[in-house]
Amino acid sequence: MPERAGGKLRGRMLSPKPLSKWIVGSFAGKIRPSTLPHLFTYQEVYEGDLYHRPVRATLRVIHRLIWRVLSRSRAQGSALVTGLLKGCLDNGCSISTNARVVELIKDNETGRIVGLVADMNGTRKHLRGNVGVVIASGGFEWNREMLNEHFPGKLDWLGSPRGNEGDGQRMVSNVGGALAHMDQANVYPAIPTRYEGKLHGLPMIFQAEKHAIVVNRSGKRFASEYDFNIGVAVDQRDRKAGQPEHLPAWVIADSRLLKDAPPLGWYSRNDPNWMVRASTLHELATKIGVPAEALAETVARFNGFCADGRDRDFHRGESAWEQFKAGGANSALGPIDRPPYLAAPFNRSILGTKGGARTNMAGQVVRADGGVIPGLYAAGLSMANPIGTLAVGPGTTIGPNLTWGFICGEALLSETVARREQLAVHA
């Protein structure tokens, strides 16, 4: 946000360097693959413009990619998880897989959370926690009932692994913890991919293309397509009914979209119904159920902005971020006038919900009356995210989520030290 007071044109992007899975020994096979192979670092993705020039970007670093395949090294999120796992193993953590936590154990006398019940490889086990339990079980996007309750209306894709079913939120609520921000999420553009044998969402900012716009169910634009907070606009709700105001929404583009962004053509084959094509705008509007006249007007208005070099409605391509995204000043605007015309759904795709346990500044879970539930902490997407759906920059979820994990860790350590001191006094 360079335009804000104190903002800078350039910031720091922190993203892991490639790391070999061999460093975690027998756990290497347990690291879940990503929807993308993660052979490229983020820097290489951006510097080579992998999305628009996949062949050129690959050839630039082909020697590195070959080495990464041979050494089982991966970058981005895969490297992050490998590094976190290695840190845990080196510090003596015991890690169990195939272990679903189903219940928290509360000491009825003190109200303290003293352990949990887990289904581990088909066996139910009771585990005691010496100091406390940290809930870090992610969002509830794969829990259909909870999703329908908190995100009524059109949804497109879910991008996270299917295990995130809101168990943490349910367990917190069962022991009296307050839940908040349940209608907030990481709402991010996504396209269809296949993951673990099923159709799945792949996050991709595919709407921010020169010859494309996003329109709502009335055929009107409602945000700058290049805004990294477009998820907030897409999820805008009617205050009274709580229903989304713009959905169903659509990306409308001309034939240049697929030439400019080749991966979009490859991925759209995963779901043949996903992208709609028509030889006229009128036919396209009829196919997707948007008022044809309104769509024609919107496209004509946008094409006029392209001729003038200025988007008078949403200032697309004017902020520093949007210029960066477009590859330069005046590069974000291109007319939509070359058939065939294309439409793809642009409803909410969710990478992770952001509602959950209300916590205090030490990560301790609190009740509705503000009192702390002793021994219970929450971090990441299972806690009520302070900024909710809003992003403060592109990719601003892992950082805060890791930080909350760190805060919980520090608080647990302080509790441990305090307890030891208490015991020493008693002795």
Ligand X SMILES: Cc1cc2nc3c(=O)[nH]c(=O)nc-3n(C[C@H](O)[C@H](O)[C@H](O)COP(=O)(O)OP(=O)(O)OC[C@H]3O[C@@H](n4cnc5c(N)ncnc54)[C@H](O)[C@@H]3O)c2cc1C
Binding site for ligand X (CB under 6 A): 35, 99-101, 136-138, 159-160, 163-164, 167, 186, 203, 351-352, 380-382, 395-399, 401
Q: Which amino acid is at 264?
A: L
Q: Which amino acid is at 71?
A: S
Minimal distance, residue 296 CB to ligand X, in Å: 36
* Six-digit token string for 334: 């291109």
Separation CA 35–CA 15 (nearest Å): 17
Separation CA 3–CA 8 (nearest Å): 8
* Six-digit token string for 74: 């991966």
Cβ-count burial 132-164 (b if 16+ within 10 Å, e if not):
bbbbbbbbbbbbeebbeebbebbbbbbbbeeeb
Q: Say which DSSP state 236 is in.
A: -
Which is closer to ligand X, CB of 58 or CB of 397?
Answer: 397
The distance of Cα 343 from the centroid of its chain, to the nearest Å, equals 23
- Name the residue number minimizing CB distance to ligand X: 380
Minimal distance, residue 70 CB to ligand X, in Å: 25
Which is closer to ligand X, CB of 54 or CB of 395?
Answer: 395
Contacts of 315 (CB under 8 A, 6+ apart): 224
* Six-digit token string for 255: 């034939």
Minimal distance, residue 231 CB to ligand X, in Å: 12
What percent of the residues of the chain are helix, what percent strand, and what percent coil, each to the nearest 5?
Answer: 35, 20, 45
Separation CA 158–CA 148 (nearest Å): 13
Minimal distance, residue 259 CB to ligand X, in Å: 26
Q: Do the Cβ atoms of 325 and 313 come closer than 8 Å?
A: no
Which is closer to ligand X, CB of 162 or CB of 269?
Answer: 162
Which is closer to ligand X, CB of 167 or CB of 322?
Answer: 167
Which is closer to ligand X, CB of 181 or CB of 220?
Answer: 181
Contacts of 73 (CB under 8 A, 6+ apart): 18, 19, 20, 21, 67, 79
Q: Do the Cβ atoms of 116 and 101 come closer than 8 Å?
A: yes
Minimal distance, residue 48 CB to ligand X, in Å: 17
Minimal distance, residue 11 CB to ligand X, in Å: 13
Separation CA 202–CA 194 (nearest Å): 9
Minimal distance, residue 417 CB to ligand X, in Å: 26
Q: Which residues pair with 117 in a beta bridge?
A: 103, 126
Which is closer to ligand X, CB of 300 or CB of 398?
Answer: 398
Minimal distance, residue 39 CB to ligand X, in Å: 15
Minimal distance, residue 278 CB to ligand X, in Å: 31
Minimal distance, residue 101 CB to ligand X, in Å: 4
281-288 and 292-308 are packed helices; what angle lies between their axes, rounded to 10 degrees?
130
Which is closer to ligand X, CB of 268 or CB of 353?
Answer: 353
Q: Which residues pair with 199 in a beta bridge?
A: 194
Minimal distance, residue 146 CB to ligand X, in Å: 13
DSSP H/E element including 212:
strand 212-215
Which is closer to ligand X, CB of 159 or CB of 317?
Answer: 159
Which is closer to ligand X, CB of 176 or CB of 395?
Answer: 395
Separation CA 389–CA 278 (nearest Å): 34
Which is closer to ligand X, CB of 364 or CB of 401?
Answer: 401
Q: What is the DSSP string of 263-294?
A: HHHHHHTTSTTSSEEESSHHHHHHHHT--HHH
Which is closer to ligand X, CB of 335 or CB of 400?
Answer: 400
- According to DSSP, the β-strands at 155-158 and 348-353 are parallel
